[in-house]
Amino acid sequence: MRLFLLPAFALAILLGNLASPAFAQDEPAKADEKPAKEKPPEKEEEKKPEEKTPVDENGDPVENPFPQRIPAPSLDGGEAWLNTSGEISMKDLRGKVVLLDFWTYCCINCIHVLPDLKYLEKKYDKELVVIGVHSAKFDNEKDTEAIRRAIVRYEIDHPVINDSEMLVWRKFGARSWPTVVLLDPEGNYCGFLSGEGNREILDEVIGKVVKYHKAKGTLDETPVNFTLERDRVKSGPLKFPGKIHADEAGKRLFISDSNHNRIVVTSLDGKLLDVIGSGRIGAKDGSYAEAEFDHPQGMTLAGDTLYVADTENHLLRAVDLKAKTVKTLAGTGLQDRRRTQGGPLLTTPLNSPWDLEVVGETLFIAMAGPHQIWSHEIGSDRIQNYAGSGREDIRDGTLDSGALAQPSGISSDSDGKVLYVADSEGSAIRAVPVDPDAKMTTVVGTHDLPSGRSLFEFGDTDGTGDDVRLQHPLGVVYHDGKVYVADAYNHKIKVVDPKTRKAETWIGDGTAGTRLSPARLHEPAGMAVADGKLFIADTNNHRILTVPLDGDGSTVTEFSIEGLAPPETTRPSEAPVVVGEGGIAAKVQKVAPGETLTIRVKLRYPDDFKLNPEAPVRVRLAAEEQSLIAADELAKSRKATVEGDIATVEIPLTAKSGNATFSLSVGYSYCRGGKSGLCKLHTARWTVPVEIAEGGAEAISLETDLPK
């Protein structure tokens, strides 16, 4: 974890003793660092005039936590904007505290930052805007469509720039993934933090910035909304399936339906047998219908117990396939940030377990977060590190001195003597011995280069040993003397002979796609072997494929699961409409009797703005006592019809005459010039007395207040 700030000011000074322990810790696994040296934004030479100290609501002075800030560079330079309807400028961000999250979607440290950002976005929902700046490490990650799918897979709710040429990265002086930059509501650069685990520090700093700018009158607390990529994607039976485990003896296939937060159980010919998990994100134990997961990945079977790597819960789960129940085997539900070496099962925190393998009576865990392989003797009460120093690198050596880099796939040979590991960040396949006295080695890919250079040696080259180049492999499965590799970012399945160290492409031509003949894949992540076939989790295509093992890889078939549907918990995002108390007190609205109550609302917004055409205008009614509208109709949020700046909605009536008083809310979104990707939300509220009587008007006509 590293701190980078302007020379004149430091977050550690601002936070005093609170920050000191966090920054003093020297963790063995640091953020991925870009080797090229970058300069931070240059400080302007002009001296700013002294500012008058503002006061809070009690009249007490509020000091600026960043008195020596400098104007931030622009956000120009990205190839595309995602999770938003258009580009966002520094002008659009005025009045908001801004966090720029420099990330790359392969990076486990970057993934660990996302829950912290969600927490901050929820806590400071009116004051804070987060913008992801995706500055790619791997070539595949420069592709806008690949980033779009990563945004959906990681359920990101904020805008993201595809900074494919790292132009925004260089403007802001980023040096490593992840890096978070803080900008104040006046568009000034305050500083940045590198690494993960900074939620508390960022929370404290944002709180101080919000307090100061609220007192100064430069904080804009208008809610904002964005056009999210996930709302453009229809959910199918599977959603980003991550891993597969085959039980050939039992003629079953287990599929981690990762973004549906469940495990799907089928026969080897595609009959749906069971669904484990409700689909809700959580960590609840219980029956199949009650149990909850959070983006599960790898699985392995021992007897009648299916072990599951519940990745984003940082847990291991045990599924009793006879009793049809799920219980937590290991972990506390909190991410281990202290590089714990092990301890009792339920009191030892874990860190992104990604894949599992059972050898004899030992459960081995590819623990991606600390770059290690862990182990658990089945039946015991302990779990511990088995291999890997914790340093993120590709280094051969003894189990405690050798280094791994985000292990994401694991499979043992038929003799149970070697664990083959997909070391994704080092683009290598490793051999980890089950004999604790033997040494781990690299089967294919680079290793033991100085200064962590092994992490940046990747590509798509078949061949032998150290000359082979992969690109972020995520899955391995051993079968009949060969190691099949899901070379995810090359969109290929490769075959490796661990004895000769020869690697060759078997399926895929290096281009992402959906066709079956000849096959194209999109970031495959998991595999399993059964019934003479290789089963492939074609993750970004939301499907499972099969291919005969005795063929040349040209016969690829999509594996259809009869009767499988997405969980009912899957719902698209919706712009919020809040029915609040009070609001504008409207005069009595006398309307003519009819089958429906028509409401027309003139929508107002600042002169420099236009309605957001991609966001619906929604209307909601509420009433404690009423006799004109059915109660179930009041519970609904309705999408209004919009022509120009007039929104119209019709509400079914249950009476031809009568009186009632309703709370009416209308929510709409407007953008600067109608083009900006940062669109503001406004909810107008009225208390509306309604009388239905002969001679009344055809509709209720209202006009919103002008947003501030």
Note the pLDDT tens digit of each residue in 657-679.
Answer: 888 888 889 999 998 877 788 88
pLDDT value at position 332?
98
pLDDT value at position 654?
85
pLDDT (mean) for 424-451: 97
pLDDT tens digits for range 278-337: 999 999 999 999 999 999 999 999 999 999 999 999 999 999 999 999 999 999 999 998
Tell me the H-state helices in 34-143: 108-123
Q: pLDDT band for 544, please (50, 70, 90 cuts).
A: very high
pLDDT value at position 40?
54
pLDDT (mean) for 236-252: 97
- Across the chain, what does the average pLDDT equal? 90
pLDDT value at position 612?
87
| Residues in CB range of 257: below 8 A, 6 or more apart | 238, 239, 241, 263, 264
- Alpha-carbon Rg for the chain, nearest whole angstrom, is 28
The helix or strand, by DSSP H or E, that contains position 343, with its residue range, turns out to be: strand 342-344
Q: Rounded to an integer, what distance in angstroms lies between the CA atom of residue 585 and that of residue 300?
A: 63
pLDDT tens digits for range 96-152: 999 999 999 999 999 999 999 999 999 999 999 999 999 999 999 999 999 999 999
pLDDT value at position 33?
55
- In the sheet that holds 407-412, the strands lie side by side as 407-412, 418-423, 428-433, 441-444
Specify whether the CB–CB gap between 495 and 485 falls below 8 A: yes
- In the sheet that holds 342-344, the strands lie side by side as 342-344, 382-387, 372-377, 362-367, 353-359
Specify whether the CB–CB gap between 222 and 154 falls below 8 A: no
Q: pLDDT band for 184, please (50, 70, 90 cuts).
A: very high
pLDDT tens digits for range 567-586: 986 544 444 444 444 578 88
Q: Please list the residues that pair with 484 across neighbouring strands.
A: 477, 495
Q: Any idea what DSSP says for residue 395?
A: B
pLDDT (mean) for 617-624: 86
The answer to whether residue 1 scores a pLDDT higher than 80 is no
Q: Any idea what DSSP says for residue 15?
A: H
Specify whether the CB–CB gap between 172 and 161 falls below 8 A: no
The answer to whether residue 517 scores a pLDDT higher than 60 is yes
Three-state SS letters, 161-225: EECCCCHHHHHCCCCEECEEEEECCCCEEEEEEECCCCHHHHHHHHHHHHHHHHHHCCCCCCCEE
Bridge-based pairing of strands 418-423 and 362-367 is unpaired
Higher pLDDT, 637 or 534: 534
Specify whether the CB–CB gap between 439 and 396 falls below 8 A: yes
pLDDT value at position 342?
96
Q: Rounded to an integer, what distance in angstroms lies between the CA atom of residue 262 and that of residue 264?
A: 7
pLDDT (mean) for 512-522: 97
pLDDT value at position 662?
86
The answer to whether residue 358 scores a pLDDT higher than 60 is yes
Q: pLDDT band for 563, please (50, 70, 90 cuts).
A: very high
Residue 420 corresponds to which tokens in the numbers above? 């083959």
Backbone angles phi, psi at 415, to 5 degrees: -90, -10
pLDDT value at position 695?
87
Q: Rounded to an integer, what distance in angstroms lies between the CA atom of residue 102 and that of residue 111?
A: 11
Q: pLDDT band for 56, please (50, 70, 90 cuts).
A: confident
CB atoms near residue 632 (< 10 Å):
7
pLDDT value at position 44?
47
pLDDT value at position 25?
24
Q: pLDDT band for 18, please (50, 70, 90 cuts).
A: very low
Higher pLDDT, 482 or 575: 482
**Distance of alpha carbon 295 from its chain centroid, rounded?**
10
pLDDT value at position 49?
57
Share of the chain above pLDDT 90, in %: 75
279: left (phi over 0), alpha (psi -120 to 50) or beta: left
pLDDT (mean) for 435-464: 96
pLDDT (mean) for 385-407: 97
pLDDT value at position 16?
34
Closest by CA position to 375, among listed 394, 362, 389: 362
Specify whether the CB–CB gap between 273 and 266 falls below 8 A: yes
Helix (H, G, I), strand (E, B) or coil at 335: strand
Q: Rounded to an integer, what distance in angstroms lies between the CA atom of residue 470 and that of residue 405?
A: 14
Q: Rounded to an integer, what distance in angstroms lies between the CA atom of residue 412 and that of residue 419?
A: 4
Long-range Cβ pairs for the range 299-302 (8 Å, 24+): 299/243, 299/245, 299/254, 299/256, 299/263, 299/356, 300/245, 300/356, 300/357, 300/358, 300/363, 301/245, 301/247, 301/254, 301/358, 302/358, 302/363, 302/378
Q: Which of 161-175, 353-367, 560-574 has the lowest mean pLDDT?
A: 560-574
The answer to whether residue 343 scores a pLDDT higher than 60 is yes
Q: Measure Cα distances from 271 to 337, 520, 530 in Å.
A: 42, 25, 15
Q: Rounded to an integer, what distance in angstroms lies between the CA atom of residue 255 and that of residue 526?
A: 9
CA dihedral for 620, 625, 631, 635, sign (positive or negative): positive
Closest by CA position to 525, among listed 286, 238, 277: 238
The answer to whether residue 461 scores a pLDDT higher than 80 is yes
The answer to whether residue 23 scores a pLDDT higher than 60 is no
Closest by CA position to 199, among listed 131, 118, 128: 118
Q: pLDDT band for 32, please (50, 70, 90 cuts).
A: low
Share of the chain above pLDDT 70, in %: 91
Backbone angles phi, psi at 138, to 5 degrees: -90, 155
The answer to whether residue 26 scores a pLDDT higher than 70 is no
The answer to whether residue 203 scores a pLDDT higher than 50 is yes
Q: Any idea what DSSP says for residue 424?
A: G
